């Protein structure tokens, strides 16, 4: 989804993908064989090193600064994270890291079949609403609710002190008000 706050004449923001896999070890072994250059120096250490790194921070391993190919994408950069289904479900259900669970508080494009995650995704959204209600004053607008929800995963995130746009949360929410409404419509109706 579009974020405001970027210089339209500059490079477009990096495309961010998350790949949910059954077996990260098998996935990384195959990907290292085909796209070893995506892994920078850690790829030279092999699949075991990549998997150890993946398990350390939030169960997610990212390859970044990958140049996209194909018509209309030339020169655009992407990053892709790899997470196991088990680690994703754990974060959605417990907010152990609030990393992917927090990303999924915002409108995103979900590809393929997410049916096995529907209950956890629904509960994650409901928990985000409940947590936000505790943080908001007695009277608030939908915009303030969405700002609070979108900001949950950025509270305490050290990246917000450097490198991120200071209005990142606002830049996510403002152009996506209708998508937030679609995402949280059923959850808010139930309250």
**pLDDT for the residue 154:** 84
Number of H helices, E strands in the chain: 8, 3
Give SS3 for 30: helix
Least confident interval from 14-28, 56-70, 92-106: 56-70
Q: What is the pLDDT of residues 125-159, one digit of tens each?
A: 999 999 999 999 999 999 999 999 999 988 766 66
Report d(CA 82, CA 30) in Å as an integer.
13
Rounded to whole angstroms, how far apart are CA atoms 159 and 103? 14
The pair phi, psi for residue 83, each rounded to 5°, is -140, 150
Strand order in the sheet with 15-21: 15-21, 77-84, 60-67
- How does 37-53 read in b/e, with b if 16+ C-beta sit within 10 Å? ebbeeebeeebeebbeb
Return the closest-CA partner of residue 63 out of 73, 53, 74: 53
pLDDT of residue 160: 59
Q: What is the pLDDT of residues 31-42, one digit of tens each?
A: 999 999 999 888
Q: What is the pLDDT at residue 106?
A: 95
């Amino acid at each position: 989804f579009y974020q405001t706050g970027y210089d339209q004449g500059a490079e477009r923001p990096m495309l961010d993908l998350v790949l949910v896999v059954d077996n990260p070890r098998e996935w990384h072994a195959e990907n290292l064989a085909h796209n070893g250059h995506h892994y920078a120096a850690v790829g030279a250490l092999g699949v075991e090193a990549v998997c150890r790194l993946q398990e350390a921070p939030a169960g997610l391993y990212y390859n970044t600064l990958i140049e996209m190919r194909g018509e209309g994408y030339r020169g655009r950069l992407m990053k892709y994270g790899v997470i196991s289904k088990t680690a994703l479900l754990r974060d959605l259900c417990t907010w152990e890291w609030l990393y992917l669970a927090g990303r999924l508080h915002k409108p995103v494009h979900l590809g393929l079949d997410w049916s096995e995650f529907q209950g956890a995704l629904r509960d994650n959204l409901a928990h985000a609403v409940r947590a936000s209600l505790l943080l908001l004053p007695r009277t608030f607008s939908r915009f303030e609710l969405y700002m609070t929800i979108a900001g949950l995963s950025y509270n305490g995130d050290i990246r917000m002190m450097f490198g991120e746009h200071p209005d990142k949360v606002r830049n996510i929410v403002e152009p996506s008000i209708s998508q937030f409404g679609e995402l949280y419509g059923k959850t808010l109706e139930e309250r």
